[in-house]
Amino acid sequence: VAADRRVASIRDVARRANVSISTVSRVISRKIPVDEETQARVRKAIKELKYKPNLVASGLRSKSAKSIGLLVPRISDPFFSSLIDHVDRTAISQGYNLLLFNTHSDPAFEEQVVDNLLRRHVDGIIFSMVSDESRAMELLTDVGVPVVMFDRVRPGSRHMNLVIDNRKAGEIAADHLLGLGHRSFACLTGPLTISLCADRLAGFSERLERSGHPLGTGGVLRGDFSFESGAAAAEMMLRSIHPPTAVWAQNDLMAAGLIKGLARTGVRVPEQVSVMGMDGLIVPEIVTPALTTITQPVEEMARRAVEMILEAKNTAVPPGEVVLQPRLMVRDSTTRCPNP
């Protein structure tokens, strides 16, 4: 049960230590020298009263509540939950806490959420947009706090951008599968209104074209990043006249669904069809066969995102755009083409 005990304030500490509240403030902030002896008195009082500075009050006055707003489209997506984890880690190491917002991959909800976030006067915003059509970005212009557009960005943004080279990811996937002798492909994409999906697809298909084995009709399967959409794609795929021998899914969850869907109709991976995914978090090792995938450097992404915000606060010239590199991770779900 919540007792309504009044909690000690800086005044109480000041009275107890026989100093002014500003002295107490100085002792805490350690920015301005305070006599050793009075310092000791103050610390004693703080301990005795179990005083904890009220960050709401200090946030109001100093205009920095030491918090970072993190907006993601889906909290429970393994990529984002891992991102949240790592962002939290770096943020807290710098004394910042996380205000978390789920936009539910819904543009309307996203606007509402951004509007809400703005009322909280966070020190910075890390934002992974729902899609290129998000009006939310406009709501974030000139808001007076650093904004890092994360993972999903739109060209011409006036914010900082942090992305991985998605086109490159597609190329890596294509190269890997071509190298295994495959000649007939499919790509299971996320919503193409998200530019990152379009970029990945572009890299993938251009590389294939250049090698003389373009993605044919039915070579583009549209999913929504969910396991279910991956499973559903399996049926679509098998219905086509020339079923591909190699598929790249734009995230691991869909790849896992695809494998499941294929297994359901008796198609074996990788013996009959090679499948690869993207992200590289938990899912690839859980799945059977273990998933060949393209990993994203989430930890580094998270760290850089927080750093960018802090740099923007402290330096005159904040970083504009940071691009990180995806990497191939070969496991068991891809193999040489069975019928070359």
Partner DNA sequence: TTGTAAGCGTTATCAT
Partner DNA sequence: ATGATAACGCTTACAA
Q: Which residues contact DNA (rule: CB under 7 A)?
A: 6-7, 9-11, 18-23, 25-26, 28-29, 31-35, 37-39, 51-54, 57-58, 60-63
Q: Is 3 in the site for its own copies (CB under 8 A)?
A: yes
Burial of 171 (0-12, 13-18, 19+ CB in 10 A): buried
Residues 6 or more apart from 241 whose CB is under 8 A from it?
Answer: 218
Residues 6 or more apart from 139 whose CB is under 8 A from it?
Answer: 111, 114, 115, 118
Contacts of its own copies in 133-192 (CB under 8 A) = 142-147, 158-160
What, of DNA, its own copies, none, does residue 25 touch, CB below 5 to 8 Å by kind? DNA
- C-beta of 42 vs 178, nearer to DNA: 42
- C-beta of 16 vs 304, nearer to DNA: 16
Instruction: Supply the minimum distance, in Å, between the C-beta of residue 299 and its own copies.
Output: 11
CA dist., res. 115 & res. 136, Å (int): 9
Q: Is 2 in the site for its own copies (CB under 8 A)?
A: yes
The three-state secondary structure class of 216 is coil
Q: Is 27 in the site for its own copies (CB under 8 A)?
A: no
The three-state secondary structure class of 178 is helix
Query: In sequence order, which ranges of the chain are alpha helices (DSSP H)?
Result: 10-17, 21-29, 36-49, 55-62, 78-93, 107-118, 136-139, 166-179, 195-210, 227-239, 252-264, 283-286, 298-314
CA distances from 220 to 190, 217, 224, 246 (A): 10, 7, 13, 12
Q: Is 196 in the site for its own copies (CB under 8 A)?
A: no
Instruction: Supply the minimum distance, in Å, between the C-beta of residue 246 and DNA.
Output: 56
Segment interacting with its own copies (CB under 8 A) among 18-26, 41-49, 60-68, 217-225 = 60-68
Q: Is 82 in the site for its own copies (CB under 8 A)?
A: yes
Q: Binding residues for its own copies, per CB under 8 A?
A: 1-7, 52-57, 59-60, 65, 67, 74-76, 78, 81-82, 84-85, 88-89, 92, 97-102, 113, 115-121, 142-147, 158-160, 227, 253, 256, 259-260, 263, 281-283, 285-288, 312-313, 318
